[in-house]
Amino acid sequence: MSTPKLASDVEPLITEEDLARRVAEMGAEITRDYEGKDLTLLVILKGSFVFASDLARQIDLPLAVDFIGLSSYGAQTESSGVVRITQDLSRPVEGRHLLVVEDIIDTGLTMKYLLENLRSRHPESVRVASLLEKPARNLHAVEIDYRGFEIPDAFVVGYGLDFDERYRNLPFLGVLEQDARG
């Protein structure tokens, strides 16, 4: 497959094939761990939608899916330090087994905020599945139950992750060149 024209300023980091393989492995782990439980995937918008879609198809269990919108970046490449809920859940989660599906855990600030918020809603359990972790930037320790890949401290796009709402449709993950970020 040729590199999309959109990706001329993106250095590939994780291939489409490696993403598919790891997401399938994660789906098998989740299927095993949640056997016989009532699972809800809680997808963090917007960056997690591609990962969540692929992951859901790899989980061989009945499951519900809900979405929450959070933002701490805006049009920046660095977290602002302030987390905002931009879209709340569509139904209560009390008594449910929640699996939070995140695209990337960077500083841990957003996930720490979300987990505290969710626990106040009294779910049966809360676990985290993150496609990416960037340990070099971690400020708040977050337990990641299902981790796709550890990556270096670089700004990545593709496979749902964006820069200023662009690059989400790339089928791979890559590092966005500094020149493209302005």
Instruction: Give per-residue pLDDT as tens, 10-21.
Output: 999 999 999 999
**pTM for the full predicted model:** 0.89
CB count, 10 Å around CB of 66?
15
The answer to whether residue 77 sits within a structural domain is yes
Range of the domain at 121: 16-153
Please state the separation of Cα 28 from the chain's center in Å: 18
- pLDDT tens digits, residue range 70-87? 877 554 555 556 788 888
Alpha helices in 9-80 (DSSP H): 16-33, 49-58
The answer to whether residue 63 sits within a structural domain is yes
Q: Give the integer Cα–Cα distance in Å for 71 and 18.
A: 28
The answer to whether residue 41 sits within a structural domain is yes
Grade residue 158 by pLDDT with cuts at 50, 70 and 90.
very high
The answer to whether residue 54 sits within a structural domain is yes
Q: Decide the pairing of beta strands 156-157 and 173-176.
A: antiparallel
> Could you give the number of structural domains in the chain?
1
Q: Give the integer Cα–Cα distance in Å for 137 and 77.
A: 13
Are the C-beta atoms of residues 69 and 85 closer than 8 Å to each other?
Answer: yes
| Residues acting as catalytic residues | 106
Radius of gyration of the chain (CA): 16
The answer to whether residue 163 sits within a structural domain is no
CB count, 10 Å around CB of 134?
20
Phi, psi values for residue 167, rounded to 5°: 80, -5
Are the C-beta atoms of residues 127 and 146 closer than 8 Å to each other?
Answer: yes
Q: Tokens in use for 28?
A: 């098998």
The answer to whether residue 158 sits within a structural domain is no
- pLDDT tens digits, residue range 89-146? 999 999 999 999 999 999 899 899 999 999 999 999 999 999 999 998 888 889 999 9
The answer to whether residue 171 sits within a structural domain is no
CATH number at residue 129: 3.40.50.2020
